[in-house]
Amino acid sequence: MTKAVAIANANIRAADQEAPEDEPEGTVTFPTIQARAESALREFQAVTSHHAGTVAASWARLGEAHALLELNRISDARTAFEKARREGGDDPMISARALEGMGFALEAENK
List pLDDT tens digits, range 49-82: 999 989 999 999 999 999 999 999 999 999 999 9
pLDDT at residue 20 tops 90: no
Q: How far is it, in rounded angstroms, from Cα 73 to Cα 80?
A: 11
Is pLDDT larger for residue 94 or for residue 14? 94
Amino acid 25: pLDDT: 82
Helix axes 74-87, 55-70, angle to 10 degrees: 170
pTM: 0.88
Find the Cα–Cα–Cα–Cα dihedral 17, 19, 20, 22, rounded to 10°.
180
- Give the chain's radius of gyration (CA, Å): 15
pLDDT at residue 111 tops 80: no
Q: How far is it, in rounded angstroms, from Cα 95 to Cα 58?
A: 10
Amino acid 23: pLDDT: 80
